[in-house]
A = this chain, B = another copy of it.
Amino acid sequence: MLGLMQHQPLLISAMIEHAARHHHDGEIVSRRVEGDIHRYTYTELAARSRQVANALDASSVAQGDRVASLAWNGYRHMELYFGVSGSGRVLHTINPRLHPEQVAWIINHAEDVIVCFDTTFTPIIQAVHSKCPGVKQWVALCDADKLPADTGIPQLLSYEAWIGGQATTYKWPDLDENTASSMCYTSGTTGNPKAALYSHRSTTLHAYGAALPDVMCLSATDAVLPVVPMFHVNAWGLPYAAAITGAKVVFPGPAMDGKSIYELVEAEGVTMAAGVPTIWQMLLGHILPNNLKFSTLNRTVIGGSACPPAMIKTFEDVLNVKVLHAWGMTEMSPLGTLGKLKNKQLQLSEAEQQKILEKQGRTVYGVDMKIVNENGEDQPWDGKTYGDLLVRGPWIISKYYKQEGNDPLVYDAQGRGWFPTGDVATIDADGFMQITDRSKDVIKSGGEWISSIDIENIAMAHPAVAMAASIGMPHPKWDERPIVVVSLKPGQQVTKEELLQFYDGKLAKWQIPDDVVFVEAIPLGATGKMLKTKVRESLQGYQLPTA
């Protein structure tokens, strides 16, 4: 027997119409490529999203066709989020930090028919357009009179010219909620990027989950600053979660330096910001030397790679800003877990609470997780036993785009499919998960595993260290031994011996790295993560002093 409830598909168009109806004067503030601050409301955002939908109809873009963006966080990008997906097309967000060659490959692989780009990225488009014959229209996200001239890009159109003449009303289609809405390729940290294809349903459920009090806790009293890019996993779903909660949105545009971000937070009364650790390091690099404080920011979500405990402590102690440590993946829309205390933990000492909040946190309702050993057997939730982390849930992929024949899921005895994250983790009795490593980065020494993240976090707590990557090097007796590759903060000094001493008492003797290698900079990938593949390459010919 079926229930007798209204059949309403969960659609992205419903989010923007909700925002326009119930939060009409909620603000969207954007720093633009031009450098100025642009502000308007959900009413205008919705109207212009409908114009985008009409422009796509006028351009005869079919349902399900991919429309790409190569853009900073800003209002026009947000219009594409709602206009493209809402009207039944698929928004393909491209990471502009990729090599032009990779961009071309991704455009062709996704079969994008329209590509919208910020003028910052004109050189990329100039480099790739001739290699992308499937693209019918290139659109520069700018005013008609700012269209870059003499680019050689065929039939280049300005966004404002493209949507300007269109009606601001639109009848959003009544889609099946499982219709594809957007797609994103993984960061390519461990190999070639693969694409996740999200649906209206997964995006809506993720937005509910992300807004929950024990997750990002989003409400109409918030002003949210997504520093995390809209070109990677939908800025962690913030544009959607903001629309359903009526939060004010503040977009940094291309100005990702510490000073610009700080000023925007202060000027716009930002209460919550979200970003990867490398971005916050830049922010702290501006704030701490200048003795600045935040007047409205009360929390920041940090994820994408492990947030060093030293950073959490600085935010808490110096800036009175709560860090919410989150873990997720492109394949998970991306939110999997986030660290918030439970009731019984409120009585613990600050140091004990801190230890809990350093972990990657508890699952968002909808996501389930487990850790397994090499035979696929469930491992205990004791906070100590490592295992391969598997996840399932309605906003987690079942397959990668265009790899239909290839089922990445692992099935349990009940026939339920679990997605293998490629991460190694512990889970404690309270359900707090801690990533110890990527499975590809695990260091195996004498039959035991050593967490590279532990080694890195300790190094990064040293005042002289800017960034640290720990790598397992082949060892004749122990199989592998860890070393730590380190870049220093400007003007800071530390010797190998001092740094190794710094590990004393913080790790078991056998877990302490055998060597320190100083480098100018640690190579970062397109989403700001350390590229250990590159670090390893740069160490070719390196000889362990202990081997």
Contact = CB atoms under 8 A, between A and B. Distances in A.
A212 B208 contact: yes
A201 interface: yes
Contacts of A396: 5-6
Interface in A24-44: 24-26
Given A213-B245, A343-B222, A363-B22, A199 B394 contact: no
B2 A179 contact: yes
Contacts of A197: 1, 3-5
B180 A2 contact: yes
Interface residues of A, number: 78
A483 interface: no
B431 A21 contact: yes
Binding site of A, secondary structure by majority: helix, strand, loop or mixed? Answer: loop
Contacts of A212: 208, 211-213, 219, 245
A3 B198 contact: yes
Contacts of A3: 178-181, 197-202
A498 B51 CA distance: 61
Interface string A347-384: 00000000000000011010010000000000000000
Interface stretch (A93-101, A147-155, A397-405): A397-405
A10 interface: yes
A362 B21 CA distance: 11
A214 interface: yes
A176 interface: yes
Nearest to A196: B4
Given A213-B213, A431-B22, A398 B208 contact: no
A4 B5 CA distance: 26
Nearest to A396: B6
B179 A429 contact: no
A23 interface: yes
Which of A2, A3, A90, A419 counts the most B-chain CB atoms under 10 A from its CB?
Answer: A3
28 contacts: A1-B64, A1-B197, A2-B176, A2-B178, A2-B179, A3-B200, A4-B197, A4-B397, A5-B197, A5-B201, A5-B398, A6-B393, A7-B178, A8-B394, A10-B205, A15-B365, A18-B363, A21-B368, A21-B431, A22-B362, A22-B363, A24-B429, A26-B342, A208-B209, A208-B212, A212-B219, A214-B246, A220-B342
In the A-B complex, the 5 residue pairs with the closest CB atoms: A3-B199, A1-B64, A208-B208, A213-B219, A22-B431
